[in-house]
Every structure is written in structure tokens, then in C-alpha cells.
Structure 1
Amino acid sequence: MDAKTRDDQVLLTLAERKSREFLMLRIANKTSGCVMEAIKQLQETYSEHFSEVFKTITTDNGSEFADLSELEKMVDTLVLLCSSLHVRDKGTVERYNGLIRRFIPKGKRIDGFTGQQISDVETWCNCLQRKVLGYKTQDEILEEEIDRIYQATA
């Protein structure tokens, strides 16, 4: 990492496998502490349903994901590690990372983009109709799944 990007923010990108819903979370830097803080915020958002929405999280073996093993101790979410050389193990998120590059080119500083711009990219990605989803959008599928989860516990 060069000096130009060392003090820049980064985007933590997550893809939910069933719905293909894509999340882009701006974090202060590429450290395990910042990644865990972002995951804790997601836990707060989904509260007791976090483990039902996020059954597994697949990451590469970068040091920024080192503390995710602690997540398994706190909730029923399984953390899977894949080799960073085998991006096929996390193809969905890699596909979205490629789509992000249309709007946020590699090498551009993340802190140069507003929260609204990042949110707009995330929204654009989640409003794509996908053949694999029966030509529904990711947002539609996730909404159906969350409704199912919340109705099951009502």
C-alpha cells in the first residue's frame, strides 16, 4: 500500500448469497478492527435475525478479516476463508467489485466520494434484474427473504 492510499478510507463489500444483495460499507481503513466494527453495525441493524440473514460470510485470508473468527463465537454465522488466489470461491462479490469500478475506478481515493455517491452505486447494483433470480432484483429477493424470516418468528 503506498503512502497515497494508506490514509484513505476503504469499502468493505459484502454479497448475500441467496438474494445476491450487495452491501458497500465505508470504513476508516483496512484493519481488522474497522471490519469488525462494520460487522457489529450490521448485527445491530438485523438484531436477533443477523444469523438468519447472514448464515455464512466468506472472506479471503487478508489480515483485515483476522478477527472475524470471533464472530462465530458471538452468533450462529459461519466464517469461511478462501484463498485470495482463488477468487472463484467468492465470485459474486468479485463480480460486484468489478461493477463498482464503473463508478469508482481503482486507485481513486474513497474519501473523494460522498456517502450519497456510494449509496447510489450500491442501489444501482441491487436494482439489476438477474436471470439467476428469475429476472427479479436483489432488493426484491432480499425483501421476500426478510419477510419470511420475520414472519417465522412472529
Structure 2
Amino acid sequence: GYIVTHVDRATKYLMAQKIESKTAEAFNKATLSMFMPLAPSKRLTLTLDNGKEFSLFNKIENRLKIDIYFADPYCSWQRGTNENTNGLIRRYFPKKTDFSTITDNELQKVVHKINSRPRKSLDYQTPKEAFSLENMSGALGT
């Protein structure tokens, strides 16, 4: 199993979902299910790596009406917020964890813990609080 993660840069709010295979179709299905509940004005951009699982990105762009960008190869700092958040997830699921043995409920508990953790960069608000306030007052870039 695999996990798809999306993190809002401004609020550090994490959305994550398990997928069974690392295919473009599985990635798109998970991404659409996470982004569709958001108001169109709240989903502006998405920055992806260069893996094969992102090869059908144009379907997400068209369906969600968002702009998709790609990080330069071997430049993980261009997606620093996401990489940092993946590191937080790894505190709960260390490297070599078989994600097929993790339940959706276990993953969502970890997501909740991460989103409920106060952050100095958010003036000690939690990502959940910051995302809520941002959702009410302005557009989001992810």
C-alpha cells in the first residue's frame, strides 16, 4: 500500500489517503476525493513530484480547475512543506512500514494528531484552526 499526502502551504493542513497501487489512476482518484469537498475558490494550485503516478495530472487540472506545477527533479526543497509533513507521518509509520497493514482509521488518527498539533509558524494555532480560518477568509494554495 501507499499513502497520498497533500499539505496546504499556508496553514500546514494535511490531507492523506491510502491507495492500493502507485498508479496514476489511484493517485487521481484519491486526490479528487480529497479536493472535491473544498470550494473551488479554496483549491488553487498543486505542486507534484515527477513520478509516473502523476502522469495523468491534466485530468485533475481539468476536473478541479486548478493549476498544477512540477518540482524540478531532485529538488525536494521545492516541496518542503510536504516533505516536512511526510517526516511527521514517519514518526508514526517508520520507513519500511507496510502501508497495506495500516487501516484507514489508523491513518486518519495520525492525520488528526498532526493537524491538531500547535505550530510556532502558525502563531501556535493548529493547522486545523488555521485552515478553518483561512477557509472562511480567503483562497488556499496547496
After TM superposition, the score normalised by the length of structure 2 is 0.89
What does residue 143 of structure 1 align with?
132
Structure of greater relative contact order (alpha carbons < 8 Å, 6+ residues apart): 2
Question: Which 5+ residue runs of structure 2 have no aligned equivalent?
Answer: none
The yes-or-no answer on 1:22 pairing with 2:14 is yes
Contact 2:20/2:100, CA 8 A, preserved across alignment: no
Q: Secondary structure at the match of 1:79?
A: strand
In the alignment, is the contact (CA less than 8 A) between 1:16 and 1:54 conserved in 2? Answer: no
Name which one, 1 or 2, has greater alpha-carbon Rg: 1
| Alignment correspondent of 2:37 | 45
Deviation at 1:45, TM superposition (A): 2.0
Amino acid at match of 2:54: F
Aligned residues: 139
Equivalence for 2:46: 57
- Per-residue CA deviations over 1:5-34 (Å, capped at 9, x if unaligned) read xxxx10001101121101111111110000
CA distance in 2, matches of 1:135, 1:77: 30
Counterpart amino acid of residue 116 in structure 2: C
Match of 2:5 among 13, 19, 38: 13
Residue 73 of structure 1 and its aligned partner are, at CA, apart by 2.4
Unpaired segments of 5 or more residues in structure 1? Answer: 1-8, 150-154
Measure how far apart 1:43 and its partner are.
3.8
Structure 1 or 2: more helix by fraction: 1
Q: CA RMSD in A?
A: 1.7
User: Taking every aligned residue pair, what percent have the same amino acid on both sides?
Assistant: 25
Q: Among 75, 81, 90, which residue is 1:92 paired with?
A: 81
Q: Which digits, 9 at most, give the CA deviation of each residue in 1:72-122, with x for residues without a partner?
A: 223331101002410100000100111111111111111211222111111
